[in-house]
Amino acid sequence: MDMKVIIDTIWVLVTAKLVFFMNLGFAMVESGFARAKNCVNILSKNFVVFAVSSLGFLFLGWGLMFGDGNPFVGLKGLFFVSGLDNSPAVGEAYKGVYSAISWTGVPLWAKFFFQLVFCGTAATIVSGAVAERIKYKSFILFSFIMTMFIYPIIGHWVWGGGWLAQKGMFDFAGSTVVHSVGGWAALAGVLLLGPRFGKYSNGRINPIPGHNLSLATLGTFVLWFGWFGFNPGSTMMADPQAISHVVVTTNMAAAAAILSAIMVSWILLGKPDLGMTLNGCLAGLVAITAPCAFVSVGSSIIIGLIAGILVVLAVIGFDKLKIDDPVGALSVHLVNGVFGTLCVGLFAQDKIAGVATGDGLFYGGGLKLFLAQLTGVISVAVYTFIVSLIAWAILKTVMGIRVSLQEEIEGLDIGEHGNAAYPEFLERKPTYSFLGLKE
Amino acid sequence: MDMKVIIDTIWVLVTAKLVFFMNLGFAMVESGFARAKNCVNILSKNFVVFAVSSLGFLFLGWGLMFGDGNPFVGLKGLFFVSGLDNSPAVGEAYKGVYSAISWTGVPLWAKFFFQLVFCGTAATIVSGAVAERIKYKSFILFSFIMTMFIYPIIGHWVWGGGWLAQKGMFDFAGSTVVHSVGGWAALAGVLLLGPRFGKYSNGRINPIPGHNLSLATLGTFVLWFGWFGFNPGSTMMADPQAISHVVVTTNMAAAAAILSAIMVSWILLGKPDLGMTLNGCLAGLVAITAPCAFVSVGSSIIIGLIAGILVVLAVIGFDKLKIDDPVGALSVHLVNGVFGTLCVGLFAQDKIAGVATGDGLFYGGGLKLFLAQLTGVISVAVYTFIVSLIAWAILKTVMGIRVSLQEEIEGLDIGEHGNAAYPEFLERKPTYSFLGLKE
Amino acid sequence: MDMKVIIDTIWVLVTAKLVFFMNLGFAMVESGFARAKNCVNILSKNFVVFAVSSLGFLFLGWGLMFGDGNPFVGLKGLFFVSGLDNSPAVGEAYKGVYSAISWTGVPLWAKFFFQLVFCGTAATIVSGAVAERIKYKSFILFSFIMTMFIYPIIGHWVWGGGWLAQKGMFDFAGSTVVHSVGGWAALAGVLLLGPRFGKYSNGRINPIPGHNLSLATLGTFVLWFGWFGFNPGSTMMADPQAISHVVVTTNMAAAAAILSAIMVSWILLGKPDLGMTLNGCLAGLVAITAPCAFVSVGSSIIIGLIAGILVVLAVIGFDKLKIDDPVGALSVHLVNGVFGTLCVGLFAQDKIAGVATGDGLFYGGGLKLFLAQLTGVISVAVYTFIVSLIAWAILKTVMGIRVSLQEEIEGLDIGEHGNAAYPEFLERKPTYSFLGLKE
Amino acid sequence: MKKIEAIIRPAKLEAVRRALEKVGYSGLMITEIEGHGKQKGVVQQWRGEKYRLELLPKLKIEMVVKNEDVERITKAIIENAKTGEIGDGKIFVSAIDEAIRIRTGEKGEIAL
Amino acid sequence: MKKIEAIIRPAKLEAVRRALEKVGYSGLMITEIEGHGKQKGVVQQWRGEKYRLELLPKLKIEMVVKNEDVERITKAIIENAKTGEIGDGKIFVSAIDEAIRIRTGEKGEIAL
Amino acid sequence: MKKIEAIIRPAKLEAVRRALEKVGYSGLMITEIEGHGKQKGVVQQWRGEKYRLELLPKLKIEMVVKNEDVERITKAIIENAKTGEIGDGKIFVSAIDEAIRIRTGEKGEIAL
Ligand SMILES: Nc1ncnc2c1ncn2[C@@H]1O[C@H](COP(=O)(O)OP(=O)(O)O)[C@@H](O)[C@H]1O
Ligand SMILES: Nc1ncnc2c1ncn2[C@@H]1O[C@H](COP(=O)(O)OP(=O)(O)O)[C@@H](O)[C@H]1O
Ligand SMILES: Nc1ncnc2c1ncn2[C@@H]1O[C@H](COP(=O)(O)OP(=O)(O)O)[C@@H](O)[C@H]1O
């Protein structure tokens, strides 16, 4: 057996496992940032979403994304990854219907698993933004739609040899394909759901503190760890220079974003808020996801610094707009997914880690790359937002997407699951309603 | 140095580390499913058990399992892995006393560590079932017995070239060797211990809710993650096709089991219980452990779907039988360990990922393979259950295995350890005794 | 591309990621061992410290540590890892200014990332010892000093081809370079800070129990897991025999230390304390860190056994000396870092896993190696402790290092961050002050 | 002086407190209690077994007030804690002999 | 009307409540308290240092009842909360001037 | 018999209890409450929004004592719970009709 295939398969599988592990990270961040009375519900959503993704992506998602077809959608080998394929053969030797991903010399199931964990990430992003009020059933159904009809189409455009790839748009590990897709789908949901009860009442913004910052911190560390699979794994082959480069740009962006988020919140809010610090880290990671292999370590620090500032402003901004996102998913994944994608057009340095992207605006490449990135950002926004809005609207009409007010007040744990997350601990029940006497 | 040896060693060690990490998963699932007053005790048990396994398996377990000997037990190089061995030499080139495991070309200590983490898993399974009433001391002693005399013997039969291997029984990653062995040993303990105080009183089954579903969910994610070491690592060499295949069957079985457990509990219990969802996931993983490399991805989904249903029924069934298993260890590991082992006989497709198992019943292979599997299931049940029963009985006579009623009511944390897991949080002390007014 | 480079890069990066993950472990152990009212602060410190390390080590630390220079400090390619370097070239072929680390054939950024995670570990050790009273701002500044001026200098001496390396001192994975450096810096901080309010009052030692032993156990498991990156990764190349050997010695020392810590606390304290058990595990891991590749598996067990005893005695001893270390960082990292380093001089067996250390005292090598180790221990102690003391003293004078008494009593979470870790749970506020009526 | 002890639904605390602020009050204490009256408990499940939590979380508000304020304050509480459903809670009034302000040592109504 | 305030061991709650159900009662409130009486505390340890939790978890049951029910109810509590060991707890009885049912506004004994 | 109900700062519990031990007492119950008096709340923030926790954690100590002990015990509490800052708390005294020791069934002052 070819050594290169073995090594690449190990790399792809090990990094895919780390990305899988990010499901734990999301579960802990989201439940930690929400109230105890909705904890079981959030845990359940984050748990079931990867099961749904697994089946949805196997059934149809993979085929639409990587099947040979037209620039907009895959058409061959649609169902159950059952098209002809002789992976790990590459290049000329490859015979099969998934040619868009035939450049990486690993077995078909390794490709599938790696792509699946990315699909799962896009789906799980939605969960946090719609938390504390969405019906469990409706969330499960939306996740099927997401992993079968929304994510794979965008994926086809960018990573499946579709029209955006042909336009010269670059998204190394998915600032757009994964994060902003998740973000736009979430935004559509949030708008149709409306804010949580009591969040914007009497003309005030009432903060609703999360119940467990230990869990949220734990989750953020796990996500940071998982990102060391997400970004360097996206080489899908063990190219030593590239993966080493990507590990460092990824880490530096996170580090810089943490420090800038701390500074900004210290200045704007008077104290270094831990929630903002954690969001800052994630913002840096999301922002560097597209450019991680195309920019220098120095640029990664700048990108991180800006991401950390952006996320703090975005969290405050969304609240001003009365767009209620309990965990900051929009500020992290949508805002910084867009920002990171555009950064490729600004900071890219041709072949810095091997890929011929051409130079970005700041490195003398002119607007060409930037415009390709912008096209990507806009078209993805339009498609994802509209399709998601329609999907949410249909769910809303057919079965409802929001729990009853009574259930929301008592907590979704009892209403949706009949469980309590912490049955033995005495909780300060009224906290959420008693807060909010703003300075 | 031979590249193949290097690569295989990396694969074996990395997957072994993931399996090691499952200790965290077990600790969190089990403590989350138990009451706060016993939390320190459960954490301690789950923590010490791998230390015990490490010493026990080093001292004797490895030798009994892999030492050359007769079909029932290893006899050479028994103590401290100190027999002659020239690993990573394989095949003809191998000179040593651990020939049953000489097919994998990695250094001896890599083999040892990989096998050790499996031994540790079998031992830790017991911990959950006997939780909330067992004496710490007795648990430690039983764990020594388990890792020195019970697990290695069964291991020898199946993986050490023993009589079951010769009979043509297949257990790829240990549905039987690890999970059902753990399960039978646990069952023996549970029967001798009796149910927790108050669990079955006044003719009712009194539910005793776990104290922390966040931890339990965290633990289940960690276990799922770890299983990506458990199953694909069991190739013990980096065969790209095989490991990719196994990663996907493993994941699909888990996903399917989650969804079927949710459906069944939604139908049977009215709401999608999170505890059942988590157990469903684990059930799917246990069930696919034996067949993961022998069945198609399609079959893995079917196996998962059935496992998810089985576990819900088993949890309810054991309660009806007044067999008190606080965390569902029997339903997960014993029932689905047996089920998964039999599935090999039903769903196997010859050489689907390389191994020549012959076809299972559903693929035209007739009853041959199924009967070999059944022989394995039954003989392992008989040996493990009887030896465990004797071991528990001796411990019971010599030093007692159950804490005093007074201590059980006050909690084992104070009684056994003098610690409190959450000394600053106000707990609703009487919950456990006040529940249970069944509909 | 040379296969060896690819494989070694994978090994280095994967193990580095595991070491990165130890940040989560530290965060959970330290917050679990502290009080709920300081939880946000501790999480924040543990979170920000890796961001600080990333920037500090990139900016200057790497250059001082690995830049070509004199035996005391690196002088070339100081800033931003920007010196000439043609990694992964090795030996004769290497052209660059970081020759001390040119023996490992991986890309420069892989080397950097691997070394960075070690630097981060040294910095995070400080955090636990100074917990529950240090100002957030001052901690951040000290961390910059630590990662730019303290750790890299010692690193240069031992791993950067400096005078201790030339003296024949061996520290495989950093018992001294990482752990005791962290420990000495922490000790200096603790002495200048003084004990927490109420810890030693009325002539008594008042125990201040940690708020969450589930988190502490979780963290310890994560650290144990991460150590399987820390120690075997320090080969910085995938040498199968060496890494397999190191994995097993690492694990055996931990296992032995757990059991001896349990035994000792059972004997000395009457019950097997979980906090001591967890510290015991970490003590064994720290102690084996220097000798893991130089001693036999049998010796690793002995080293672990002693480490487990040492840590229990040290925890009790530091308390007697009124040196207040809330999480036992000194007992774990300082005491056992020193002990482990000396063990190399006692237990080393020449070339047992490839490295020519010469034999230790117990294997007939005489005092030579031991004295080299001792020289290392003492000189590192002197440099680190004095420089740290000066750094802390300057911070104390310029901006203060301790929060106000009022803030300390109310908790640093409110004072430093304006956050509460668990706003919905009812806490037993006075616990900490009401305890301590010693037997 | 009288002590007013009101058991209310947790979700009604904000409304009650706002109302009290309007009518004026000098201080209050709130305790998390679990109550049991006519209201049926919440049904939960654990791994297949349903059970009813017979005790429901309630809040107890205690205020020591001047005799003449009792009427006004109980009225404010009733109006704002009422949903008309079983489980709205009760108010109990009892006598207090003496009140002391720890900070100043003042005694009697002035200490309230 | 009288308020019966009973301090009991947490583990005795179920027995007491079943007994109360038999003798009949209209409502109760339960508060988690920490108590200190003749009973010695629990010894715990933290990293080598032993300490005693002098305060022990207890439950306080409060019931407002008609004067004529006091006897019956205190008897039921005593019988079921008793172990004979130190730490069994106490019962205190005091006067209640007025009771109001929030849901209906009913006052007096009818509101209990 | 009288019931002394003292609301104090959590941080003052140790001092108060030591003082009580000196003057002697037969038993007490401690409840975690949240209080609101003249003292302003603590300001916290959550993701960019500041809010004030109007309710502050306090402890309620309840002791049933003989009439003649009221003076002595309230004095001990006041002396040790006082900081002079707003938020020090209050003491309320009320009448108790009857006390019963569950363990023995003893009634009256002897049961305290
Ligand atoms: N007699 C009583 N003594 C003490 N507490 C009572 C009494 N009656 C009711 N309560 C408290 O009031 C709460 C509401 O009582 P419930 O009977 O459900 O309300 P309502 O009859 O007003 O609808 C109960 O949970 C309990 O805590
Ligand atoms: N005088 C009192 N005032 C308030 N609470 C008391 C009083 N005496 C006892 N208690 C409460 O009763 C509980 C049990 O008292 P204890 O003296 O241990 O019981 P007993 O003497 O009946 O065996 C104590 O924990 C305390 O909460
Ligand atoms: N009239 C009252 N009724 C009930 N509790 C009160 C009353 N007045 C004060 N309290 C309690 O006492 C605590 C301290 O009161 P505060 O007015 O802040 O103190 P002070 O005026 O003595 O400085 C409050 O948090 C509240 O719990």
Which distant-in-sequence residues (6+ apart) come within 8 Å of C416 by Cβ? A271, A272, C40, C41, C44, C135, C136, C403, C407
In the predicted model, what is the mean pLDDT of residues F92-100? 97
- What pLDDT does residue C433 have? 38
DSSP state of C396: H
Structural domain range at position A398: 3-402
Local confidence band at A431 (pLDDT 50, 70, 90 cut-offs):
very low
Amino acid, single-letter form, for residue A434: F
Residues A229 and A373 in one domain: yes
In the complex, which subunits touch D with 3 or more CB pairs below 8 angstroms?
A, B, E, F
Q: Establish whether the linkage from the previous residue to C88 is cis, with ω within 30° of 0.
A: yes
D80 CA: distance to closest CA in chain A (Å): 15
CATH (domain of F24): 3.30.70.120
Question: Given ligand 3 and candidates D3, D4, D5, D29, which is best to mutate, with the most ligand atoms within 8 Å of its CB?
Answer: D29
Residue pLDDT, tens place only, B252-291: 999 999 999 999 999 999 999 999 999 999 999 999 999 9
Going residue by residue through chain E (112 aa), what tens digit of pLDDT does each one get?
999 999 999 888 888 988 998 998 889 999 999 888 887 778 888 888 888 878 888 999 999 999 999 999 999 999 999 999 899 999 999 999 999 999 999 999 999 8
Residues A43 and A100 in one domain: yes
Local confidence band at A223 (pLDDT 50, 70, 90 cut-offs):
very high
End-to-end CA distance of chain C: 68
Q: Choose between D51 and B300: higher pLDDT.
A: B300
In the predicted model, what is the mean pLDDT of residues A372-394? 98
Residues B272 and B174 in one domain: yes
- Residue ranges of alpha helices (H) inside C77-194 are 108-129, 136-145, 151-159, 163-166, 181-193
B390 has pLDDT over 80: yes
C431 has pLDDT over 50: no
Local confidence band at F44 (pLDDT 50, 70, 90 cut-offs):
confident
Local confidence band at B437 (pLDDT 50, 70, 90 cut-offs):
very low
DSSP state of A291: T
Specify the number of domains making up chain A.
2
Which one of C211-215, C423-427, E35-39 scores highest in mean pLDDT? C211-215
CATH (domain of A369): 1.10.3430.10
Which percentage of chain A shows pLDDT scores above 70?
Answer: 97
Up-side HSE of residue E68: CA atoms within 13 Å toward CB? 1
Between positions 27 and 66 of D, the ones with CB within 8 A of A are 32, 42-46, 50, 57, 59
Query: What mean pLDDT, rounded, does chain A reach?
Result: 95
Local confidence band at A373 (pLDDT 50, 70, 90 cut-offs):
very high
**B3-32 vs C213-233: helix crossing angle, rounded to 10:** 170
Under-70 pLDDT residues of chain D: none
Determine how many CB atoms are found less than 10 A away from the CB of residue F57. 17
Among B6, B21, B27, select the one facing C238 at the smallest CB separation: B6
At residue A68, φ and ψ (nearest 5 deg) are: -60, 145
- Cα Rg of chain A, angstroms: 21
Q: And the tokens for B300?
A: 């893995």
- What pLDDT does residue A380 have? 98
* CA distance linking residue F55 with residue D14, whole number of Å: 11
CB distance C275 to C288 below 8 Å: no
* CA distance linking residue E64 with residue B252, whole number of Å: 59
Residues C307 and C278 in one domain: yes
Structural domain range at position F34: 2-111
Local confidence band at A203 (pLDDT 50, 70, 90 cut-offs):
confident
* CA distance linking residue D1 with residue B114, whole number of Å: 75
Among F64, F94, F103, select the one facing E86 at the smallest CB separation: F103
* CA distance linking residue B108 with residue A351, whole number of Å: 43
Residues C161 and C182 in one domain: yes
A407, A412, A433: which to substitute to probe chain D, counting the most D Cβ within 10 Å? A433
* CA distance linking residue A231 with residue A289, whole number of Å: 6
* CA distance linking residue A287 with residue A285, whole number of Å: 5
Specify the long-range contacts of residues C224-227, CB closer than 8 Å, at least 24 apart.
C224/B20, C224/C254, C224/C281, C224/C285, C225/B17, C225/B20, C225/B21, C225/B24, C225/C18, C225/C21, C225/C25, C226/C18, C226/C19, C226/C20, C226/C21, C226/C22, C226/C25, C227/C22, C227/C254, C227/C285, C227/C289
Residues A212 and A294 in one domain: yes
C3-C5-C9-C15 Cα dihedral, nearest 10 degrees: 80
Cα(D27) to centroid(ligand 3), Å = 5
* CA distance linking residue C28 with residue C5, whole number of Å: 35
Q: Is B372 helix (H, G, I), strand (E, B) or coil?
A: helix
- What pLDDT does residue D52 have? 79
Residues A209, F54: C-beta atoms closer than 8 Å: no
Residues A279 and A325 in one domain: yes
In the complex, which subunits touch F with 3 or more CB pairs below 8 angstroms?
A, C, D, E
Specify the number of domains making up chain E.
1
Q: What ipTM was reported for this prediction?
A: 0.96
B146 has pLDDT over 90: yes
Nearest residue (CA) to ligand 3, atom 9: D27
Residues A243 and A359 in one domain: yes
A309 has pLDDT over 90: yes
Q: Choose between C68 and B424: higher pLDDT.
A: C68
Residues C206, E49: C-beta atoms closer than 8 Å: yes
Report the relative pairing of strands F56-65 and F2-8 from DSSP bridges. antiparallel
Q: Is the minimum CB–CB distance between B430 and chain E shorter than 8 Å?
A: yes
B404-B405-B411-B415 Cα dihedral, nearest 10 degrees: -20
Amino acid, single-letter form, for residue A154: I
* CA distance linking residue D110 with residue C130, whole number of Å: 47
Residue A278, H or E segment:
helix A274-289
A429 has pLDDT over 80: no
Ramachandran sector of residue B312 (left: φ over 0; alpha: ψ -120 to 50; beta: rest): alpha
CA distances from F81 to D62, F6, F33, F60 (A): 21, 10, 16, 12
Residue pLDDT, tens place only, A103-130: 999 999 999 999 999 999 999 999 999 9
Residue pLDDT, tens place only, C61-119: 999 999 999 999 999 999 999 999 999 999 999 999 999 999 999 999 999 999 999 99
Amino acid, single-letter form, for residue A72: F
Chain D to chain E, count of Cβ pairs less than 8 Å apart?
78
In the predicted model, what is the mean pLDDT of residues A342-370? 97
Residues D30, F31: C-beta atoms closer than 8 Å: no
Diameter of chain D by CA atoms? Answer: 58
Residues B419 and B294 in one domain: no
Between positions 256 and 295 of B, the ones with CB within 8 A of D are 265, 268-271, 273, 275-276, 279
E51-E57-E58-E59 Cα dihedral, nearest 10 degrees: 170
Q: Choose between A270 and D48: higher pLDDT.
A: A270
A301 has pLDDT over 80: yes
Cα(D78) to centroid(ligand 1), Å = 14
- What pLDDT does residue D48 have? 82
CB distance B222 to B25 below 8 Å: yes
Residues B333 and B421 in one domain: no
Helices and strands (H and E) in chain C: how many: 18, 2
Q: What is the pTM of this model?
A: 0.96
Local confidence band at B149 (pLDDT 50, 70, 90 cut-offs):
very high
Chain E residues closer than 8 Å to F64 by CB: 90, 92
- What pLDDT does residue C300 have? 98
A434 has pLDDT over 80: no
Q: Report which of B235, B259, B243 is spatially closest to residue B172, judged by C-alpha positions.
A: B235
CB distance A223 to A285 below 8 Å: yes
Q: And the tokens for B193?
A: 């211990």
Residue pLDDT, tens place only, C232-270: 999 999 999 999 999 999 999 999 999 999 999 999 999
Q: And the tokens for A128?
A: 């946090």
Which distant-in-sequence residues (6+ apart) come within 8 Å of C85 by Cβ? C77, C95, C96, C97, C98, C108
Residues B256, A43: C-beta atoms closer than 8 Å: no
Residues C291 and C430 in one domain: no
Amino acid, single-letter form, for residue B185: A
At residue C202, φ and ψ (nearest 5 deg) are: 50, 35
In the predicted model, what is the mean pLDDT of residues F42-55? 83
